[in-house]
Amino acid sequence: MAKITFNIGGVHPDDSKIAKDRPIEVLPLPQTVWVSMAQHLGAPAKPVVAVGDKVLAGQVIAEPGGFISAFVHSPVSGTVKSIAPRKDLAGNNMTHIEIAVEGDEWVEGVDLSDTLVTAIPEDRQAILDKIKACGVVGLGGATFPTHVKLNPAPGSVAECLIINGAECEPFLTSDYRIMLEKTKEIIVGAAIMQKVLGGCRCVIAIEDNKPEAISAMRKALGELGYSNMEVLPLMKKYPQGGEKQLIDAVMHRQVGSGALPISVGAVVQNMATALAVYEAVQKNKPLVTNTLTVTGDCLPVEKQHNYLFRIGMPLSYIAEYAGGVPGDAAKIVSGGPMMGKAIANLDACTVKGSSSLLYLSEAMTKRGEQSACIRCGKCAQACPMGLEPFLLYRLYKAGNTDELEKNAVHDCIECGCCLYSCPANIPLLDYIRQAKGQVLGIIRARAAAAKAAAEAAKTNEKK
Amino acid sequence: MDRILVSPNPHIHAPVSTRSLMRDVVIALLPASLVSVIYYGLPALVVFAVSIITCVGLEYLIERFLMHAPSTVGDLSAVVTGLLLAMNLPSSTPWWVVMIGAAVAIGVAKMTFGGIGQNVFNPALVGRVFLLVSFPAIMTTWVIPGGYFGADAVTGATPLGLVNEAILQGKSVTSVVGDFSYCDRLFTFMGGSAGEASVLALLAGWIYLLVRRVVRPHITVSIWATVAVISLIFWLCNPERFTDPLFNLLSGGMILGSCFMATDYVTSPMSTKGGIIFGVGIGFITMMIRYFGSYPEGVSFAILIMNATVPLINMFCHQKKYGRK
Amino acid sequence: MSSTIIWTIVIIAGLGLLLAVILFLVARQFRVEEDPRIDEVEKVMPGANCGGCGFAGCRAFAEAAVKAPNLDNNYCPVGGNEVMQKVAAILGYEVKEKAPQAAVVRCNGSCANRPKTNVYDGAASCRVKAALYSGDTGCPFGCLGCGDCVNACQFGAIVMNPETGLPVVDESKCTACGACAKACPKGIIEIRPKGPRGMKLYVSCVNRDKGPVAKKACAAACIGCGLCAKTCTHGAVTVIDNVAYIDPAKCKLCRECEAVCPTGAIHSVGFPKPVDKEAVKKRIADRKAKAAEAAKAAEAAAQPVKKEENNG
């Protein structure tokens, strides 16, 4: 039993990794894919193809719409049918590029073979350019553009690259499967990122409920002979995979409020991201595929799957292929049960960060009736950021934004531990998220005002 | 399901509810209740029944006819209040006195503040203290169990009562304390409230609550530590005048109070640091009342006094926040 | 014994007197000089402290009004013209009369019109729901039905209709403070003039989706067909982003738009009778026929002139 974990709060939901022994299968192509322009955190991408264009798989179809944005590539070969708004999984309109699938031809230079390429390019900037050109984004949930994260601001030094294999969300097994099936690719991907960051230490952190993954990683590490890299088993606790919690667990350092992990010398990258980096740099393959788990408590184990999907596949297509939506599914979630998004529209399409199609039964997911707060403090004990959700909830209801800011509501990572552990079923996180939005808005407005004032003072001085 | 649910995360919930927590508390109190029924017999059973029925019934009636609100009887918190109140009363208490106590506990201490989660003071203790000051004779006459099921019982004073009397009369306490063996105290045969019959049964219940993660040990342990330290200092200074630590830990309402009353969610601080301050305060006030006050027992008063400070403690004691000093 | 009582009375009375003197002196010492007109203005305010005027409360409004050079930017929607006259009298300002206003809910997506596609299971708050997803129907623009507007209203002027799942405004109680409009994350509540004798017309939909999409999501949606705009002879209706909007300043309440709307998205309030669609449609048809005739006649009249011009 590993003893290492993060210090504050956390909860222990049953890990329910039912689909862990189902090998990754490749999904066949549908007739049509719809590729969303919002595949990543930050500004949506801008389409660079026109209706009627022929595209190849791996061809750029949209370019970054800002500094924090990413390239989007065609996941299939075929004809662009339309560029129009389509409803995403929350039912909101987002520009999608519709492509009718014709064959499966890839752009030149993409290496689709399974041969392991271990020779890492020497030029750091060339690697970064490749990662950017291939549209790699963080696949741990936030889909933050990877090239931005791997290129810290001048002056900050990366001391430790943490490869996040915690997969602390119950049910999800896609990271586990790639750890077993693409072990060496992941390690090479990690070594590439290590190189970009200037040869810092690298820790592959895996929770101890995945002993097979830990031993497979250790074995592969020995075979590849990387010395500055180690596998670190962590005690199972949610939300270990949260960036801040993982840094606390691995490096025993805490990232200050509003600061980036690099401020304590840490860079955290997800397993799937390491694999995407490997494929981008060594194989020239843009990020158009990812692994997704079809699972849930109301799905028999033989109907559970781990799939290699292409982005733009409709979720309904995957659900049909896997055998249809089970009759007793009360909620369908994209992502884990703690932080995933409930799917309101199953016709929505997969994006780079899709990680699961999770069917939850009514007994498991329906919220209990809300009752009065009994001040048990379980939310405060569970909060991994050390916040006091009961207090934040009351302050939000009272509209007291000053006190909300003092009580660090904007530090909330929305992990859901408070609501998970509340015996009175008070929708703490629902309201705290609102409060966080309000306070962040106030902080930003204040910063903008201060900046404007400083500039005004400067111009006055010049006069 | 023909239409799927949509909600913000998280999509799963811990197997815990107000009802399940209260049920665990009831289960934890059962061994001690059982022991007291075995030793004090039918009168104890009557006290338990009257107390619980009055608490639950009154809560229902107040919510139904005064507050016009949905009833919260189902969350079992009134059962816990009734049970705790009964455990704080001598088994010889007449049924109508028990009813008055229960009515004060639920009607005054809980529902006037707005019901569950809103009360400042522990309802059962308010009920108990109300009875203590209103019916001192009844409340300080204890049945000393002689045999099983109430056989051969005689009424008399509790060990703490005897000690207090001895102090007031200027006698040496060792002569009184010497009459009680620690073994007796651990198991039973203690004169006292119905629920204070067996320290061991109470501790078993507390450990059950710890294992089920219903309560955390910090409040209870800090009370014990404070009581032990204070009584050790005084006892070492003058063993003739002051009782020893073990006596103070095992006698009276100390175990019941520290394990079940002080750890009440609603009336104790939320943060760990606050809980420790709260516990130290209870321990200190208890010992001051026991050594220097005119009441033989101080735990109830100490908890109530510290209850009043909880909003203040909550205001100043916060959890340790991630990445902040 | 009696001396004890006397001493008690003397001491208590003396103590009381002493404290009273101290309080008096302290109050005098620390008195804050304030414009006395602030108090006067505050007295005539409704005292709802609703913030509808844009200030934190009635006192804040009074302070701002006293400082302001005129009352153009200070208007109490709750008190209305009556209160503003009093305020103006105190401060010696002129005040512009404003037409009385009330909130209207621009959504008609009742349970019958707008079938639900999923069930919401989160906190009962429109804001929370809006941040999560587009809502439990196919329409991403309409009412979410959690009643944030109801909670925001201090006057009990807006209630949820359990049958339709939509909020209903009681115009007799509505003070047009705008709290509901601010609370609504979908922005479907508009503060509009109550209209002459309470009569008004408005488009009860804000769906910006294209016609077929909007129609699929909700039977009563504005599909942006523009019939109303074409029919209106007063230029009061505009269609922007597939939604029609009736400008209350230009609307002459002829109800022609209401009659021609294919989905019934245009609502009328306060009229004595429901609109007789057929009669109005006939009126429009007659007018169009007349206009066509007139146009023909004009064309016929114009033709020779043209020829002449050509000749010339």
CATH number at residue C67: 1.10.15.40
Helices marked H in chain B: 18-40, 42-61, 77-87, 95-103, 123-134, 136-140, 159-168, 173-177, 182-187, 199-211, 218-237, 245-250, 254-256, 272-292, 299-316
B263 neighbors B215 (Cβ within 8 angstroms): yes
Q: Which residues contact C71 (CB under 8 A, 6 or more apart)?
A: C65, C84, C87, C88, C91, C93, C94, C95, C96
CB A301 within 8 A of CB A338: no
**CA distance linking residue B283 with residue B226, whole number of Å:** 5
Taking the CA atoms of C79, C84, C85 and C87 in sequence, report the sign of the dihedral they define.
positive
The distance of Cα C243 from the centroid of its chain, to the nearest Å, equals 18
Contacts of C122 in chain A (CB under 8 A): 367, 427, 430
Q: How many CB pairs under 8 A join A and B?
A: 158
Choose the mutation target among A412, A418, A430, A438 for the interface with C, i.e. most C CBs under 10 Å: A430
pLDDT at B122: 94
Cβ distance A331 to C121 less than 8 Å, yes or no, reads: yes
Q: Note whether C130 and C79 are same-domain residues.
A: no
CA distance B311 to chain A (A): 11
C186 & C58 share domain: no
Encode pLDDT of A201-250 as tens digits: 999 999 999 999 999 999 999 999 888 899 999 999 999 999 999 999 99
Of the candidates A342, A344, A366, the beta carbon closest to that of C134 is on: A344
* Residue range(s) defining the domain that contains residue C84: 36-91
Q: Read off the pLDDT of each residue in A424-432 and give the average, rounded to a whole number.
A: 95
Q: What residue type is assigned to position A260 of the chain?
A: L
Integer Cα distance of B311 and A391 in angstroms:
12
Which among C121, C123, C128 has CB closest to B5?
A: C121
**C135, part of any domain:** yes
Choose among A159, A370, A189: nearest CA to A266: A159
Q: Specify the pLDDT at position B171.
A: 61
Burial of C16 (0-12, 13-18, 19+ CB in 10 A): exposed
Both C258 and C116 in one domain: the answer is: yes
The residue among A406, A415, A419 with the most chain B CBs within 10 A of its CB, best to mutate, is A419
Average pLDDT over residues C24-34: 85
Our measurement of the distance from residue C213's CA atom to the centroid of its chain's CA atoms, rounded to an integer in Å, reads 28
Residues C184 and C79 in one domain: no
The predicted-structure confidence for A162-205, as pLDDT tens digits, reads as follows 999 999 999 999 999 999 999 999 999 999 999 999 889 999 99
Which pLDDT score is estimated for C306?
Answer: 52
CA distance B17 to B11: 16
Chain B: closest CA distance from residue C211 (Å): 25
Compute the distance between CA of residue B113 and CA of residue B111 in angstroms, rounded to an integer: 5
Q: Does C148 reach chain A within 8 Å, measured CB to CB?
A: no
Q: How many CB atoms lie within 10 A of CB B186?
A: 14
C19 belongs to a structural domain: no
- Least Cα distance to A269 among A186, A351, A345 occurs for A186
In this structure, are C133 and C172 located in the same domain?
yes
Q: Are residues C136 and C166 in the same domain?
A: yes
Q: Which of A91, A366, A437 sits opposite C121 (nearest CB)?
A: A366
Does B12 contact A338 at a Cβ distance shorter than 8 Å?
yes
Q: Does A462 touch chain C (CB under 8 A)?
A: no
The pLDDT value recorded for residue B145 is 57
Average pLDDT, chain A: 92
Chain C residues touching A366 at Cβ < 8 A: 121
The residue ranges of every structural domain in chain A are 111-283, 378-462
| C84 and C108 belong to one structural domain | no
C56 touches chain A (CB under 8 A): no
Asked whether the beta carbons of B279 and B220 are under 8 A apart, the reply is yes
Nearest chain B Cα distance for residue C130, angstroms: 11
What does the alpha-carbon distance between residue A343 and residue A334 come to, in Å, rounded to a whole number?
A: 6
Is C12 domain-assigned? no
**Average pLDDT of adjacent 10-residue blocks, chain B of 325 residues:** 82 94 95 85 90 95 90 91 91 91 94 90 94 85 56 55 63 58 50 70 93 94 95 89 83 85 92 93 93 82 95 90 85
A6-20, C80-94, C253-267 — which is least confidently predicted? C80-94
Contact C117/A at CB under 8 A: yes
Evaluate whether residue C302 is within a structural domain.
no
pLDDT of residue A201: 92
> Alpha-carbon distance B222 to A25, whole Å?
57
The enclosing domain of C203 has a CATH number of 3.30.70.20
- Report the pLDDT value the prediction gives residue A133, as an integer from 0 to 100: 93
Q: Please report the pLDDT score of residue B168 as a whole number.
A: 61
Can you give the pLDDT at residue B1? 46
- Would you state the structure tokens that stand for residue C217, as one six-digit string? 């999501």
CA gap A68, C75 in Å, rounded? 44
The letter for the amino acid at B255 is I
Edge-first strand listing for the sheet containing A266-270? A229-234, A201-207, A160-165, A266-270
* Per-residue model confidence (pLDDT) at position C169: 92
Cβ–Cβ gap C119/B4 under 8 Å = yes
B6: which chain C residues are within 8 Å (Cβ-Cβ)? 118-122, 132-133, 136
Helix pair angle (C36-44, C58-67), 10° resolution: 130
Query: Would you state the pLDDT for residue C301?
Result: 80
> Do C152 and C258 belong together in one domain?
yes
Smallest Cα distance from A191 to chain C, Å: 38
Angstroms from C185 CA to nearest CA on chain B: 17
Note whether A421 contacts B14, CB cutoff 8 Å: yes
8-state DSSP, A137? B
Q: Distance from CA of residue B274 to its chain's centroid?
A: 19
Check if the beta carbon of residue A390 is closer than 8 Å to that of residue A375. yes
- CB contact at 8 A, B242 and B49: no
Non-local CB neighbours of A300 within 8 Å, separated by 6+ positions: none
The CA distance from A90 to C136, in Å, is: 10
pLDDT at A299 over 70: yes
Beta-carbon contacts of A279 under 8 Å, excluding residues fewer than 6 positions away, are A134, A185, A189, A285, A287
Q: How far apart are CA C275 and CA C259, in angstroms?
A: 7
- Check if B21 contacts A (Cβ < 8 Å): yes
* C186 lies in the same domain as C61: no
For residue A13, give the nearest of B7, B12, B265 by CB distance: B12
Instruction: Please answer whether residues A426 and A396 qualify as being in contact, where contact means their C-beta atoms are separated by less than 8 angstroms.
Output: no
- Contact B3/A at CB under 8 A: no
Secondary structure (DSSP) of C211-243: HHHHHHH-TT------HHHHH-SSS-EEEETTE
Amino acid in position B274: G
**What pLDDT does B295 receive?**
76
Contact A281, A192 (CB under 8 A): yes
From the options 3.40.250.10, 3.40.50.960, 3.30.420.40, 3.40.50.11540, give the CATH code of A111-283. Answer: 3.40.50.11540
Among the partner-chain residues A93, A427, A433, the one whose CB lies closest to the CB of C140 is A93
Q: Please, which residues bridge with residue A198 across strands?
A: none
Q: Chain B: residue nearest A408 by CA?
A: B321
Contact C122 A430 (CB under 8 A): yes
Strands A356-361 and A289-296: parallel
Contacts of C304 (CB under 8 A, 6+ apart): none
Q: Which residues contact C228 (CB under 8 A, 6 or more apart)?
A: C203, C237, C239, C244, C246, C257, C260, C261, C266
A416 vs C contacts (CB less than 8 Å): none
pLDDT for A375 beyond 80: yes
Q: Which residues are registered as beta bridge partners of C190?
A: C104
What integer is the mean pLDDT of C23-33?
87
* C73 and C117 inside one domain: no
Q: Could you report the per-residue pLDDT of A135-155, keeping only the tens digit for each?
A: 999 998 788 999 988 988 888
Residues of C in contact with A342 (CB under 8 A): 132-133
Alpha carbon distance A195, A199 (integer Å): 5
The single-letter DSSP state of residue B65 is I
Which of B1, B7, B9, B13 to substitute to test the interface with C, most C CBs within 10 Å? B7
Q: Does C119 touch chain B if contact means CB atoms closer than 8 Å?
A: yes
Q: Does residue C235 share a domain with residue C115?
A: yes
A385: distance to nearest CA of chain C, Å?
A: 22
Chain C residues closer than 8 Å to A434 by CB: 125, 127-128, 131
Quick check: C155 contacting B, CB < 8 Å? no
B70 preceded by cis ω (within 30°)? no
The per-residue b/e assignment along A117-145, b for 16 or more CB within 10 angstroms, e otherwise, is eeebeeeeeebbebbbbbbbbbbbbebbb
| Cβ A135 vs Cβ A286: under 8 Å | yes
Q: Which chain B residues are Cβ-neighbours of C128 within 8 angstroms?
A: 8
Contact, C135 vs A91, CB < 8 A? Answer: yes
Distance of CA A345 to the CA centre of its chain: 20
Determine the Cα–Cα distance for residues B148 and B34; give it in Å rounded to an integer.
Answer: 12
Is C280 a domain residue? no
- Confidence label for A29 from pLDDT (cuts 50, 70 and 90): very high
- Whether residue A374 and residue B21 make contact (CB cut-off 8 A), yes or no, is yes
Q: What is the pTM of this model?
A: 0.87
- Nearest residue on chain A to C119, alpha-carbon basis: A344
pLDDT digits (tens, 9 = 90+) for A75-100: 999 999 999 989 888 888 899 999 99
A448 class by beta-carbon count within 10 Å (0-12 exposed, 13-18 middle, 19+ buried)? exposed
Tokens at C228, concatenated: 């109303």
- Tokens, residue A365: 């997911």
As given in the structure block, the two tokens for residue A168 are 């602390």
Instruction: Give residue for tokens 């001051």.
Output: B288
Mean pLDDT of C169-188: 90
Give the mean pLDDT of A157-165.
93
Using a pLDDT cut of 90, give the percent of chain A over it.
Answer: 81
Q: How many domains does chain C have?
A: 2
Pairs of CB atoms within 8 A across B/C: 27
- Evaluate whether residue C221 is within a structural domain: yes
Q: Does C120 touch chain B (CB under 8 A)?
A: yes
Among A residues 362-381, those touching chain C with beta carbons less than 8 Å apart: 365-367
Binding partners of C (≥3 Cβ pairs within 8 A) = A, B
Residue A97, SS3? strand
The Cα-based distances of A99 to A28, A93, C69 in angstroms read 16, 18, 62
Same domain, C113 and C210: yes
